[in-house]
């Protein structure tokens, strides 16, 4: 429905722990990247001070649960596209990790399409955070002119 909210989940794990783990969320608008939020988690269990750069984005994660998820509020057709969760842990020799979510916004009059997800759960490996892709679908009611 118009004005829907969608959760974009992202979690991290590391077999060797974290220190100054940097993360951010970006939106890819046809090749132009827009930063939605970013923060650094100084150590395990310490909540980050998150800088949010978009008025309809809310950070809902918690370092206590290794969660760096965001909510997107009041979804519109213009919000369709790729959202990238990025993390870098200096304890893993600054190796980069990311997860990409493709948000598909559909008109309610066209019905609900297949909601198949390609998301794979993160796995704790020596290399650090797992990489995966997922699809999310939101249905919006288009206003019908009277």
Question: How remote is the C-alpha of 103 from its chain's centroid?
Answer: 10
Q: Tens of pLDDT along 14-57?
A: 889 899 999 999 999 888 999 999 999 999 999 999 999 999 99
Would you list the domain boundaries of the chain? 6-140
Give pLDDT, residue 106.
76
* The overall pTM is greater than 0.85: no
Question: How remote is the C-alpha of 24 from its chain's centroid?
Answer: 9
CATH 1.10.10.10 matches 6-140 = no
- Is residue 99 within 8 Å of residue 83, measured between CB atoms? no
Q: Tens of pLDDT along 66-110?
A: 999 999 999 888 999 999 999 999 998 888 999 999 988 877 665
């Amino acid at each position: 429905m118009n004005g829907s909210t969608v959760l974009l989940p992202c979690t991290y794990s590391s077999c060797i722990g974290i220190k100054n783990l940097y993360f951010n969320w970006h939106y890819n608008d046809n090749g132009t990247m827009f930063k939605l939020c970013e923060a650094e988690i100084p150590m395990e269990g310490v909540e980050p001070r998150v800088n949010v750069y978009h008025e309809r984005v809310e950070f809902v994660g918690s370092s206590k649960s290794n969660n760096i998820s965001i909510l997107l509020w009041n979804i519109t057709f213009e919000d369709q596209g790729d959202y990238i969760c990025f993390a870098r842990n200096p304890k893993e020799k600054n190796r980069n990790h990311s997860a990409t979510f493709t948000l598909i916004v559909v008109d309610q009059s066209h019905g609900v399409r297949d909601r198949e997800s390609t998301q794979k759960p993160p796995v704790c490996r020596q290399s650090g955070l797992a990489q995966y892709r997922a699809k999310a679908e939101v249905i919006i009611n288009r206003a019908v002119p009277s």
